[in-house]
A and B are shown apart, each in its own frame.
Chain A
Amino acid sequence: MKKCSDLVFRYMRVDHLPQIWCPGCGNGILMRYVAAAIDDLKLEREKVVIVSGIGCSSRAAGYLDFNTIHTTHGRAIPFATGIKLARPELEVIVITGDGDCTAIGGNHLIHAARRNMELTVIVFNNNIYGMTGGQYSPTTPTGEYGTTAPYGNIDRQFDIPLLAAAAGASYTARGSAYHTQQTIKVIRDGIANPGFSLIDCLSPCPTYYGRKNKKGSAVDMMKYQRDHGITQTQWDKLSEEERKDKFIIGQLTKNDYPGYTAIYRQIIEKKRENTENKDRK
């Protein structure tokens, strides 16, 4: 008897499952959405590269059956940049976390966005450092608790898609573990977008973030996503006050600015030609 669905069987390294994440962690749900989006796009599996950093989220690379590389903390995006520049025909997807991507790796995020490097960055955003046991991250809301914020977090939180869009990303979106179809769609659209895509995927962490902040069980945290995630259209109709505890699920920004490797390829073509002509003379 088969142990899992066709989707999981096809795109994951089943002999490494079950995964190591805690019961009710959203990362497993989101990892399945990534596989579903890749399946929808019918990408050639040998041409897909998954790059991850360090942290709970970054264990995803090991479970996905593509070319996968689990790199150093915060550096998934520059590793991915090197892969993409070396072989622009590859579809390079970064799976990272809120700490990995926006704290230790924050500089790389904004610069890859500024270059509009043709990468899809999927952030499994659980508002906490899970792997190390519950320290506050750049997306822990102000006033909430972590083991390193015992008196309440006084930092303000990053809005990751807003940050990426401001830095120059050509596609930004938000999904969540609860919003299945919407999240698969934005991952799919993000991969299909030729430039830099950033998809903020909200991931419940019942073990650390949830427990520290009395958010209830995994089920309660999923319900929170269900009850507070709204569409752009709904958002537009709300007052500033009504928007307070809501977040948009779906595409946030998009533009057609050309990708970095596409522009660099033109330089290569031009300079190569010039040099060859010179050689001929």
Chain B
Amino acid sequence: MSRSVLMQGNEACVEGALAAGMRFFAGYPITPSTEIAEACAVRLPQVGGVFIQMEDEIAGLAAVIGASVAGKKAMTATSGPGFSLKQENIGYASLAEIPCVIVDVQRCGPSTGMPTSPAQGDLMQARWGTHGDHPVIAVSPSGVQEVYSLAIRCFNLSEKYRTPVIFLMDEIVGHMREGIVIPDPDSYEVINRPLSGVSGINKTCFHVDPGEWVPRMAPFGDGERYNITGLIHDESGFPTNDHDTARKLMERLFQKISCNYDDIVQVENDMMEDAEIAVVCFGGTARAAKEAIREARSHGIRAGMFRPVTVWPFPEKELRGWIPQLKKIIMAEHNAGQMLREVQRVTEGRLPISFIGKIDGTLIRPDEILQKINEANNEKMQ
């Protein structure tokens, strides 16, 4: 049965993760994500799970990957400097195909910046943060209810595609308190990683069956013996320098995401059906954007909001679909223009784009977006 509660975004992240089956959390305190660790410390033992506060951010993700290898759904949470420190092990989980969820509650500035102020400056880091070419899934919520449901979705994508998933929250939603409905467990799907069920030595532990995208996994201790490495490896899980093997592995890692684009990518279209002016934004910025387009509509301006919920892979197909009907795009984000680059890439100069970016720790206000909408509307008249 569903029930209504007042909840903070960071708490909702934990409750959603628990609903998805998270039973392990390892992390390190860092503002503004700390409440996630605190809530995990309280909640996990209650459901037979394990919480541990590690000695640093790097160890947090390392322990999470270890727990996942041993069969648990595992998560870590961080912010700002901590997200930088986690990058190497994100790459490990990506290449070794270990499911895990990394929550980044974005805060302002490079370095220590402004720890309690909101920003969305980790968008590109979520995509390119770890070294080497690699695919990525990153999901960004705009409110507390969505934090809950997307936390479940992050685990589902991670388990299904055996990949780290970045839950790209921001301080706006992390510290926001809202009434939300905790859904009935029967109302959402929970996906578990595909299991191999082999016993004894498994010499094909990284073999992918026809029609599948990822190798079936065997939790350590379930009766199978095999090797996992962060080196380029063959089907047996052993390191190789063979270029053919390397190419095939890397192609599959990319294709398991790109070929399942439609399953992975989600967007929110708000009043886009007849829109001529689209406000593009993600995460907590959507709150201001929604208010602005409603205000604009009340003055007869055909404005809408296009919001990538899945930010990586970037929903280019969905955005491209709106281009013919649009006159202008207003890109609003709490950074110096990171999603702007993606929008420019996708629109290929076919539309004028105006930009609102804030990097001083203040919030983009509805009236600032509305002003840009009005300007766009006036340009259209001219």
Which residues of A are in contact with B by a Cβ distance under 8 Å?
Answer: 13, 16, 45-47, 49, 51, 61-62, 65-72, 75, 77-87, 89-90, 107-108, 110-111, 264, 267-268, 270-272, 274-275
Q: Is the pair A70, B88 in contact by a Cβ cutoff of 8 Å?
A: no
CB-CB < 8 A to A66: which residues of B? 225
Q: How far is the CB of B357 from chain A (nearest CB, A)?
A: 34
CB-CB < 8 A to B201: which residues of A? 65
Assembled-state Cα–Cα distance A267/B45 (Å): 7
Q: Which of B46, B55, B67 contacts A85 (CB 8 A)?
A: B67
User: Can you list 6 residue pairs at the A/B interface with Cβ under 8 Å?
Assistant: A65-B225, A72-B62, A82-B67, A83-B70, A87-B221, A107-B59
CB-CB < 8 A to B70: which residues of A? 49, 82-83, 86-87, 90
Q: Is the pair A46, B224 in contact by a Cβ cutoff of 8 Å?
A: yes
Residues of B18-68 at the interface with A, using a CB-CB cut-off of 8 Å, are 23-24, 26, 45-50, 52, 54-56, 58-60, 62-68
Assembled-state Cα–Cα distance A110/B223 (Å): 32
Q: Is the pair A268, B48 in contact by a Cβ cutoff of 8 Å?
A: yes
Q: Which of B24, B50, B199 gathers most chain A CB within 10 Å? A: B50
Q: Is the pair A62, B227 in contact by a Cβ cutoff of 8 Å?
A: yes
Q: Look across to chain A and name the residue whose beta carbon is closest to the beta carbon of B26.
A: A82
Q: Is the pair A75, B54 in contact by a Cβ cutoff of 8 Å?
A: no
Q: Which of B67, B72, B199, B227 gathers most chain A CB within 10 Å? A: B227
Q: How many residues of B contact A (CB 8 A)?
A: 48
Q: Look across to chain A and name the residue whose beta carbon is closest to the beta carbon of B91.
A: A72
CB-CB < 8 A to B64: which residues of A? 82
Q: How far is the CB of A52 from chain B (nearest CB, A)?
A: 9
Q: Is the pair B66, A86 in contact by a Cβ cutoff of 8 Å?
A: yes
CB-CB < 8 A to A49: which residues of B? 70, 220-221
CB-CB < 8 A to B71: which residues of A? 86-87
Knowing A75-B89, A79-B62 touch, does A86 contact B228 (C-beta < 8 A)?
Answer: no
Assembled-state Cα–Cα distance A222/B291 (Å): 76
CB-CB < 8 A to B50: which residues of A? 85-86, 264, 268
Assembled-state Cα–Cα distance A139/B108 (Å): 41
Which residues of B are in contact with A by a Cβ distance under 8 Å?
Answer: 23-24, 26, 45-50, 52, 54-56, 58-60, 62-72, 74, 88-89, 92, 199, 201, 219-231, 238-239
Identify 17 new A-B residue pairs, CB closer than 8 A, beyond the known A81-B59, A272-B45. A49-B221, A61-B227, A62-B238, A68-B225, A71-B92, A78-B26, A78-B62, A82-B64, A82-B70, A83-B70, A85-B26, A85-B67, A86-B74, A87-B71, A87-B220, A268-B45, A275-B47
Majority-rule SS of A interface residues:
helix
Knowing A75-B58, A107-B56 touch, does A90 contact B66 (C-beta < 8 A)?
Answer: no
Q: How far is the CB of B193 from chain A (nearest CB, A)?
A: 14
Q: Is the pair A85, B89 in contact by a Cβ cutoff of 8 Å?
A: no
CB-CB < 8 A to B88: which residues of A? 72
Q: Is the pair B46, A67 in contact by a Cβ cutoff of 8 Å?
A: no
Assembled-state Cα–Cα distance A62/B230 (Å): 12
Assembled-state Cα–Cα distance A68/B236 (Å): 12
Q: Look across to chain B and name the residue whose beta carbon is closest to the beta carbon of A65.
A: B225
Q: How far is the CB of A268 from chain B (nearest CB, A)?
A: 5
Assembled-state Cα–Cα distance A77/B229 (Å): 15
Q: Is the pair B228, A85 in contact by a Cβ cutoff of 8 Å?
A: no
Q: Is the pair A71, B230 in contact by a Cβ cutoff of 8 Å?
A: yes
Assembled-state Cα–Cα distance A168/B24 (Å): 25
Q: Which of A51, A108, A272 contacts B46 (CB 8 A)?
A: A272
Q: Is the pair B58, A69 in contact by a Cβ cutoff of 8 Å?
A: no
CB-CB < 8 A to A270: which residues of B? 45
Assembled-state Cα–Cα distance A275/B18 (Å): 15
Q: Is the pair B66, A16 in contact by a Cβ cutoff of 8 Å?
A: no
Q: How far is the CB of B123 from chain A (nearest CB, A)?
A: 25
Q: Is the pair B221, A70 in contact by a Cβ cutoff of 8 Å?
A: no
Q: How far is the CB of B329 from chain A (nearest CB, A)?
A: 41
CB-CB < 8 A to A264: which residues of B? 45, 50, 52
Q: How far is the CB of B134 from chain A (nearest CB, A)?
A: 14
Q: Is the pair B67, A83 in contact by a Cβ cutoff of 8 Å?
A: yes
Assembled-state Cα–Cα distance A15/B47 (Å): 43
Assembled-state Cα–Cα distance A45/B88 (Å): 31
Q: Look across to chain A and name the residue whose beta carbon is closest to the beta carbon of B70.
A: A86
Q: How far is the CB of A103 from chain B (nearest CB, A)?
A: 14
